[in-house]
Amino acid sequence: MRNQHKIKDRTGEKYNMLTALRIVQHNPIKWECLCDCGNITVVDGRHLQSGGTKSCGCLSHHGNPKHNKSNTRVYRIYAKIKRRCFVKDDPAYPRYGGRGITMCDEWKNSFETFYEWAYNNGYSDDLSIDRINNDGNYSPENCRWADDVMQANNKRNNKRYEYMGETHTIPEWGRKMKIPYKTLYYRITVSKWPIEKALTEPVKRTLSKS
């Protein structure tokens, strides 16, 4: 019986612009890879290791991704989502890909499609991408652009507090009582104030010296 060589696990390893994600074919070995441009591609294992294949094919003659948006914030957000969903060595993977959260195929296969969706759906530099259903995937129907308060209010481990017959999260109470979110968060979760005191104690305003 012929000895079979053990296949080296290259998951998470970076080769030029390609990060190996998983083996999708044996004999010959082919790897599914995440390209720095944001695309997912399948690469022959020999070409990946030797450097014969450096990207998904996106490199222009000048050595830069053809979409010319790799230095933009929206691209960095896109690349970060892909890593947390598909790269097992990424620190955020256990909270995303590790619990079954992925990216829809239309975004996974095309940064340009994600880019178009972003700017057609309210993207701006002061907003972050937010999944409406925290157990759902990254897809057009489950994503929106949100500010810090909305993001905080949508955390899956968010706790609600009752006072005077109303129940709200900390961000919701902050808006309702006109208390800065960070102040209220500190009062309730760090200082462990009772909810009544946290919501009714006046906020000290620091006056700047003239």
Domain count, the chain: 2
Say how far residue 80 (Cα) sits from the centre of its chain: 5
Q: Is 104 inside a domain boundary?
A: yes
Q: Is 173 inside a domain boundary?
A: yes
Cross-strand bridge partners of residue 44: 30
What's the pTM value of the predicted model, to 2 decimals?
0.54
Q: How far apart (Å, rounded) are the C-alpha atoms in residues 50 and 34?
A: 17
Question: How does DSSP assign 80-141, residue by residue?
Answer: HHHHHHH-TTSTTGGGTGGGT--B-HHHHT-HHHHHHHHHHTT--TT-EEEESSTTS-BSGG
Q: How far apart (Å, rounded) are the C-alpha atoms in residues 16 and 49?
A: 10
The CA radius of gyration of the chain, in Å to the nearest whole number, is 23
Please give the residue range of the domain that contains residue 137.
Answer: 73-146
pLDDT tens sequence across 52-80: 888 887 765 445 555 667 778 998 999 88
Do 141 and 96 reside in the same domain of the chain?
A: yes
Do 80 and 121 reside in the same domain of the chain?
A: yes
Least confident among 1-15, 79-93, 186-200: 1-15
Q: Is 18 inside a domain boundary?
A: no
